[in-house]
Structure 1
Amino acid sequence: MPADRPRIVIVGSGFGGMAAARALRRVSAKVTLVDRTNHHLFQPLLYQVATAALSPADIATANRVLLRGSSNMRVLMAEVTGIDTATRAVLLRDGRRLPYDYLVLATGAAYSFFGHDEWREHAMVLKSLEDALAIRARLLDAFERAEQSSDPAETRRLLTFAIVGGGPTGVELAGTIAELARTTLARDFTCIDPQGTRVVLCEAGERLLSAFDPALSAYAADALASLGVEVRTGTAVEAIDSTGLMLGEERIDAGAVLWCAGTEARPAARWLGAEAARNGAVQVETDCSVPGHPEIFAIGDVASFDGGEGRPLPGLAPVAKQQGAHVGRLLAARVAGRSEPGAFRYRDHGTMAVIGRARAVARLGGMQLKGFVAWLAWSLVHLLLLVDFRSRLLVYVNWSWAWFTYGRGARLLMRETQAAPHSLPTDEIGIGEP
């Protein structure tokens, strides 16, 4: 490859980064995709790994596999620690520097504890496969330890799970944990009754799923209640410690606290010295470029893009995918000397969230769906959004097995994952084109 070809570096292999990389596969440029993991993760189904419904390989595919056959593409597993905009270089933790002519930042978001970083030690989050496996280990280990406990109070605590945040991730986790306890594990123990498991969903706002129509929020709350989930709205968490949390004035002793309450962008704005939104996301231009740096683009959760209604676009998978594809087309045109596409426009195909078996809510254009029909739509959309046929087949087989048997195929608890109770490491899904 001639040395004078432009160098394009993409940081992050999530929905946005992978969409940009795929759009640049045949461009006359040297493209490097760098990520601290070696895989593309389908985050909307991560909660199913955390609740033993799916295995990690069902929702993750190696980056090299997805970009196989791209002669202009280099895949690098490394951690980015900064950007030197003066010399146009990406800084890696091992001291290396990746020079670039064009840079695409798709680093995503992490959970925010709203100024209470001390809670990170005790609350578990769900953003990576490591997080999902840690949660799965905590859940399964709680039942195993409760089976051996001779202290009724400790047994009740172990079988209490508190989820903080009433968005789609919190709702999905609460419903799935309740189903895991009341169906899958119901006949597996002799000294405890898993059907007595307590699941508490805590939301500081006045209703669950605030991005949805109030009628769909009410349906979600009723559906969760029918599964035995205690829905607490209108009260904020005041403290989290090693054995539970304070919800307002109420103490809830819990075997695990799962945090799904808020996110903040990863530190790309700080790397660039760029203007940032309240959540740390980079304020970008209409073409997703960074003001003052037409050669740098920020997409997905790390970008704050004005959707035209005075508020930024939501942190959804389709937003990142569409922005990644747009930036890929823009760079392809720029490298080839063609006219560039205009401003990025997001095509909103809808939003949905699953509550449990045969229960979901969805907004599809002007339609509001709930119940079994919404669940069917959710299932079909998620299967189509998975990036390869193998993943679609594996997920379909696992879902079919679970539907007919109420079983879960990923319930193994390995010794190395059985960490001490509080030493384990610490999205709403929209609809878009596969």
Structure 2
Amino acid sequence: MSRRPRVVVVGAGFGGLEAVRKLAQTDCEVLLLDARNHHLFQPLLYQVATAALSPADIAEPVRAIVRKQKNVQVLLREVTSVDLAGQAIHVGAEEVAYDWLVLAAGARTAYFGNDEWARLAPGLKTIDDAIEIRRRVLMAFEEAELEEDEEARRAKLTFVVIGGGPTGVEMAGALREIAAMSIPEDFRRVDTKTARVYLLEGGPRLLPTMSEEASRRALEQLEGLGVQVRLDTMVTEVDDGCVWVGDDSVAAANIIWAAGVEASDLTRTLGVDIDKQGRIEVEGDCSLPGYSRAFAVGDIAAQVDAATGEPVPGVAQGAIQMGAFVGEIIARELSNASPPPRRPAFRYRNKGEMATIGRARAVADVGGRTFGGVLAWLLWSVVHVAFLVGFRNKLLVMVHWAWQWLVQSRGARLITGGFAPRVADPVDLDEAARSAD
């Protein structure tokens, strides 16, 4: 008795999970592999980093997601390489054969040849990243409360976000809201409202993938919050507590990198053409050149929209659409004795782009129109809740947001890691108590 066809899906992100869903009614064995046991809703990761949400609010165990799909086996393993010619993946020393392959391994933070900056300016791609940024941000205020030296205190209350895409814009706005609205009454010796937030963007405008009107509105709203935006500003060096732009520098205790991503290292093991970001240059049907049963979707695929000729953006809706497209191809060809002579080319449907800047502040490009302010913020909120995986997560996020709206407080202000505050001149605790009185 011959075994059922095996479909191996590498990565439980948006694209990988959507491909798996499309195979639910197909007579095949699906192996879903990921190095982490959870699906992460990355568009809200910055809210974990800024203490608005907890990690469990935006993540769901992969096994729980596919629990009812009986043809799926989840393996908590990291794929180290792929043998396309031999139709096998390698998990350490183990080899796993496949009949069909879907690569959806995602992306990582890119420092463009300056990987030594990662320790000083963490990116935001994982829950671990978000928790570390949250720790650094909250510790900066604690250290400022204990700091006697005015210049050192000023540096601890300075935050620099590098990169003016959606993540950078959302981080900068959230940091300014924390300092100005969420925590001022929690401290006695330091005025958190004086905290400075810089947003540095190398290009001529923020949110370059959105309309110029959205970029203009985002800039206005950020500056209205008190964020200091610097356009056409290329970072040349990142030191411990300092960002350099040519001969100029900004002393900052917290530096956050949101300037770009690159595809998973897995793409470099395949022996196929990749672009400068490590993305696989796939065919129109998302397959790898020369391998009709191997596909790439999401952030690791350099795909072009068949309708417009434009690159498909590396966003959640692009990954979801590619995952569904590939899953349908596999399901259809597994169900038919003779596959069609020619597959359709992938067509991307842009349902809109949006970014939130803060409380009742956002921008959105939808249906050829640009929205800003409260309307865009409400639209952003509805869309993000709708795309969250799991009813529990949807409910919790809505409750958290409603509470924050009412009290302007962030409930996930937990410092983890056990690090003591670092101050140049430790404060006299008796004097601190007297000054608080």
Q: Is 1:10 aligned to residue 12 of structure 2?
A: no
The residue correspondences of 1:177-196 to structure 2 (distance < 5 A) are 177-196=175-194
How far apart are 1:420 and its partner, in Å? 8.3
Q: Is the 8 A contact 1:40 1:63 kept in 2?
A: yes
| Matching residue within 212, 216, 225 for 2:214 | 216
Q: Is the 8 A contact 1:126 1:132 kept in 2?
A: yes
SS in 1 for 2:68: coil
The residue correspondences of 1:218-233 to structure 2 (distance < 5 A) are 218-233=216-231
Give the greater-gyration-radius structure (CA): 2
Structure 2 length as normaliser, TM-score? 0.93
How far apart are 1:118 and its partner, in Å? 2.1
Task: Provide the C-alpha distance between the structure 1 equivalents of 2:246 and 2:160, rounded to a whole number of angstroms.
Answer: 14
SS in 1 for 2:70: coil
Q: Is the 8 A contact 1:14 1:41 kept in 2?
A: yes
Task: Provide the C-alpha distance between the structure 2 equivalents of 1:420 and 1:330, rounded to a whole number of angstroms.
Answer: 56
Q: Is the 8 A contact 1:235 1:248 kept in 2?
A: no
The residue correspondences of 1:18-417 to structure 2 (distance < 5 A) are 18-93=17-92, 95-308=93-306, 309-337=308-336, 342-416=344-418
Q: Is the 8 A contact 1:266 1:302 kept in 2?
A: yes
Q: Is the 8 A contact 2:143 2:421 kept in 1?
A: no
SS in 1 for 2:406: helix
Q: What amino acid maps onto 1:411 in structure 2?
A: R
Task: Provide the C-alpha distance between the structure 2 equivalents of 1:315 and 1:3, rounded to a whole number of angstroms.
Answer: 39
SS in 2 for 1:69: coil
How far apart are 1:311 and its partner, in Å? 3.7
Structure 1 length as normaliser, TM-score? 0.93
Unaligned runs of 5+ residues in structure 1 are: 422-434
How far apart are 1:97 and its partner, in Å? 1.8
SS in 1 for 2:276: coil
How far apart are 1:296 and its partner, in Å? 0.6
Aligned-CA RMSD value:
1.6
Task: Provide the C-alpha distance between the structure 2 equivalents of 1:306 and 1:164, rounded to a whole number of angstroms.
Answer: 28
Q: Is the 8 A contact 1:244 1:252 kept in 2?
A: yes
SS in 1 for 2:236: strand
Q: Is the 8 A contact 1:47 1:173 kept in 2?
A: yes
SS in 1 for 2:186: coil
Task: Provide the C-alpha distance between the structure 2 equivalents of 1:388 and 1:73, rounded to a whole number of angstroms.
Answer: 18
Q: What amino acid maps onto 2:288 in structure 1?
A: V
Q: Is the 8 A contact 2:108 2:264 kept in 1?
A: yes
**Could you give the per-residue CA deviations for residues 343-375 of structure 1, whole angstroms, max 9, x where no partner exists?**
221111111111111011111111111111111
Q: What amino acid maps onto 1:244 in structure 2?
A: C
Task: Provide the C-alpha distance between the structure 1 equivalents of 2:176 and 2:264, rounded to a whole number of angstroms.
Answer: 32
Of residues 244-253 and 137-146 in structure 1, the stretch that sits farther from structure 2 once superposed is 244-253
Task: Provide the C-alpha distance between the structure 2 equivalents of 1:331 and 1:420, rounded to a whole number of angstroms.
Answer: 56
Of residues 112-121 and 189-198 in structure 1, the stretch that sits farther from structure 2 once superposed is 112-121
Of residues 350-359 and 146-155 in structure 1, the stretch that sits farther from structure 2 once superposed is 146-155
Task: Provide the C-alpha distance between the structure 2 equivalents of 1:70 and 1:220, rounded to a whole number of angstroms.
Answer: 42
Q: Is the 8 A contact 2:213 2:370 kept in 1?
A: no
Stretches (4+) displaced over 3 A: 308-311, 338-341, 415-421
Task: Provide the C-alpha distance between the structure 2 equivalents of 1:310 and 1:244, rounded to a whole number of angstroms.
Answer: 42
**Could you give the per-residue CA deviations for residues 303-344 of structure 1, whole angstroms, max 9, x where no partner exists?**
001124444211010010011011111111111116566222
How far apart are 1:413 and its partner, in Å? 1.3
Task: Provide the C-alpha distance between the structure 2 equivalents of 1:328 and 1:102, rounded to a whole number of angstroms.
Answer: 10
Task: Provide the C-alpha distance between the structure 2 equivalents of 1:158 and 1:408, rounded to a whole number of angstroms.
Answer: 20
SS in 2 for 1:360: strand
How far apart are 1:396 and its partner, in Å? 0.1
Task: Provide the C-alpha distance between the structure 2 equivalents of 1:147 and 1:25, rounded to a whole number of angstroms.
Answer: 55
**Could you give the per-residue CA deviations for residues 103-145 of structure 1, whole angstroms, max 9, x where no partner exists?**
1000111121122222222111000000000000110111111
Task: Provide the C-alpha distance between the structure 2 equivalents of 1:366 and 1:222, rounded to a whole number of angstroms.
Answer: 21
- Alignment partner, residue 432 of structure 1: none
Q: What amino acid maps onto 1:397 in structure 2?
A: V
Q: What amino acid maps onto 1:407 in structure 2?
A: S
SS in 1 for 2:324: helix
Task: Provide the C-alpha distance between the structure 2 equivalents of 1:333 and 1:186, rounded to a whole number of angstroms.
Answer: 58
SS in 2 for 1:27: coil
**Could you give the per-residue CA deviations for residues 204-249 of structure 1, whole angstroms, max 9, x where no partner exists?**
1111111222222111111111111100111200100111110232
Q: Is the 8 A contact 1:134 1:417 kept in 2?
A: no
SS in 1 for 2:284: coil
Task: Provide the C-alpha distance between the structure 1 equivalents of 2:321 and 2:216, rounded to a whole number of angstroms.
Answer: 31
SS in 2 for 1:80: coil
Q: What amino acid maps onto 1:353 in structure 2?
A: A
Task: Provide the C-alpha distance between the structure 2 equivalents of 1:25 and 1:60, rounded to a whole number of angstroms.
Answer: 22
SS in 2 for 1:123: coil
Q: What amino acid maps onto 2:57 in structure 1?
A: D
In structure 2, the CA distance between the partners of 1:418 and 1:314, relative to structure 1 (3 Å rule), is: farther
**Could you give the per-residue CA deviations for residues 277-306 of structure 1, whole angstroms, max 9, x where no partner exists?**
221100111111000011110000100011
Task: Provide the C-alpha distance between the structure 2 equivalents of 1:321 and 1:215, rounded to a whole number of angstroms.
Answer: 27
Task: Provide the C-alpha distance between the structure 2 equivalents of 1:226 and 1:363, rounded to a whole number of angstroms.
Answer: 21
Of residues 407-416 and 274-283 in structure 1, the stretch that sits farther from structure 2 once superposed is 407-416
SS in 2 for 1:9: strand
